Amino acid sequence: MAAGHDPALSGRSSLKYGDALSLVDRYGKDASWIRHCKAVSVLAKRYAEIFSAGYDLDAGFVRTAALLHDIGRYKTHDPIMHGVEGYWLLTNLGYHREAFVCASHILCGLERDEAVRHGLPDQDFIPRTFEERLIPVIDSLVEFDRPTTLHARVASIQRRYQGNDAYLQRIEQAAEKVQRFMDHVNREFCISMEDVAAETLSAGPGIV
Ligand SMILES: [Fe+2]
Q: CATH number of the domain that 54 lies in?
A: 1.10.3210
Whole-model pTM?
0.92
Q: Which residue, among 82, 70, 200, has the nearest Cα to 148 in the 3D structure? A: 200
User: Would you place residue 10 in the very low, low, confident or very high pLDDT band (cuts 50, 70, 90)?
Assistant: very low
User: Would you place residue 184 in the very low, low, confident or very high pLDDT band (cuts 50, 70, 90)?
Assistant: very high
The pLDDT tens digits of the residues spanning 68-88 come to 999 999 999 999 999 999 999
β-sheet bridge partners, residue 142 = 147
Q: In angstroms, what is the span from residue 82 Cα to ligand 1's centroid?
A: 7
Terminal C-alpha separation, the chain: 36
Mean pLDDT, residues 42-57 taken together: 96
* Residue range of the domain that includes 61: 16-201
Q: What is the total count of domains within the chain? A: 1
Q: In angstroms, what is the span from residue 46 Cα to ligand 1's centroid?
A: 20
Q: In angstroms, what is the span from residue 98 Cα to ligand 1's centroid?
A: 13
9 within some domain = no
23 within some domain = yes
98 within some domain = yes
Residue 2, phi then psi, degrees to nearest 5: -65, 145
Mean pLDDT, residues 153-165 taken together: 95
Q: In angstroms, what is the span from residue 71 Cα to ligand 1's centroid?
A: 8
Q: In angstroms, what is the span from residue 44 Cα to ligand 1's centroid?
A: 15
Q: In angstroms, what is the span from residue 12 Cα to ligand 1's centroid?
A: 23
Q: In angstroms, what is the span from residue 77 Cα to ligand 1's centroid?
A: 8
